Amino acid sequence: MSADWKTLRAELPEDVRARLDMKRQQRRLGKALAEVRKAMDTTQQEVAARAAMTQNTVSKIESADDVLLSSIVRYMHSLGGGVELVLKTPDGKARRVDFDPEIYVKPTV
């Protein structure tokens, strides 16, 4: 017997759904990317040009709940920043993976 997420979520008490929604908003990666871009006084069009994407793609990334890691790397490198991923194991160990900007950044003309 398999139930989809929408069905399971609908069965939860309202306060639990509200907490889940709040947590989802807090961890939404697209929102964080947009905040970084705005803090750097950069437009979506500028990010798009530097990352070899369309402005529409940048907009979708900023509003998405699930974003490809390669898109995050291209986005951040277009701002001159970087991405570091931390892989955590259940025993508390961590391994950091740094992504080289030279691979993803399109030179600006």
Instruction: Say what the pLDDT of residue 107 is.
Output: 53
Instruction: Say what the pLDDT of residue 103 is.
Output: 54
Name the one residue in this structure whose structure tokens are 């900023």.
62
Instruction: Say what the pLDDT of residue 78 is.
Output: 94
Q: Is the pLDDT higher at 27 or at 94?
A: 94
Burial class (CB in 10 A: 0-12, 13-18, 19+), 37: buried
pTM, two decimals, is 0.69
Q: pLDDT tens for residues 21-59?
A: 777 776 678 889 999 999 999 999 999 999 999 999 999
DSSP label of 94: E
Q: What is the b/e burial string over 17-33, where b = at least 16 CB atoms within 10 angstroms of the residue's CB? A: eeeeeeeeeeebbbeeb
C-alpha span between 96 and 94 (Å, rounded)? 7
